[in-house]
Homo-oligomer: A and B are copies of this chain.
Amino acid sequence: MASLYPVSMRRLINELTKLPSVGDKSATRLAYHLITRGRHDGLALSAAIQEAIEKVSLCKVCHFIAEGEVCPICQDERRNRRLLCAVEKPADVIALERSGGYRGLYHVLHGVWSPLKGVGPEQTRMQQLLERLNPERSTPQTDDPLQLPLEELILATSTTVEGDATALYVANAVQSMGVVVSRLAQGLPKGGELEYADELTLHLSLEGRRSL
């Protein structure tokens, strides 16, 4: 019955369903919006998608999102170039920058090791991370501002099973390189009440308690 919609509307709905977490109903609602009230914005959106796809790529050093070959973070000379933080996705870089607590360099993995979803280390940028950390860098990456030996490699993947597994995998792989490896602290979130914390978080916050 959806065939009552004209061809171009059906094509739009179909393309919209290819977006992550957009189902048939949401796609139909979005398409309806775009061809009625949202016509003007829709044309701007269409142009913005095309422009972003054409212009944006990944930083060839840290794999963060960049318009040029190397992103502004890698180019920033005021950063500590002996500190590297590995994260899952670009949005995590933004989150850490917003925290104001980190002034080193990054490496974006673009995924985590997830055997259940068939995602192995080779589907992420993990190999590129190991190459960056290798003191005898095989391919001379003259653009990489990272200065070896590192002070510390911070594994800032999520505190999920996949994030933990990925962190463990990287920690094992760099063991022979003599790099100091750390993981973000786990415990109660700021403003969190003990009463409502789950058991595991509470357990971890006890284990990781600090003397005052």
Residues of A that sit less than 8 Å from B by CB? 1-2, 4-9, 11-12, 14-16, 18-20, 28-36, 38-39, 41-58, 64-67, 71-73, 89-91, 93-94, 97-98, 110
Contact present for B72 and A4 (CB under 8 Å): yes
Q: How many copies are assembled?
A: 2
Contact present for A12 and B89 (CB under 8 Å): no
Main secondary structure of the interface of A (DSSP, over half): helix
Contact present for A30 and B39 (CB under 8 Å): no
Assuming the contacts A6-B66, A50-B43, asked whether A30 and B20 have C-beta atoms less than 8 A apart, the reply is yes
Contact present for B45 and A93 (CB under 8 Å): no
Contact present for A94 and B55 (CB under 8 Å): no
Contact present for A48 and B90 (CB under 8 Å): no
Q: Which of B9, B38, B50, B90 contacts A19 (CB 8 A)?
A: B38
Contact present for A90 and B51 (CB under 8 Å): no
Contact present for A56 and B8 (CB under 8 Å): yes
Taking CB atoms, residues of chain B closer than 8 Å to A44 are: 15
Docked CA distance A7–B90 (Å): 15
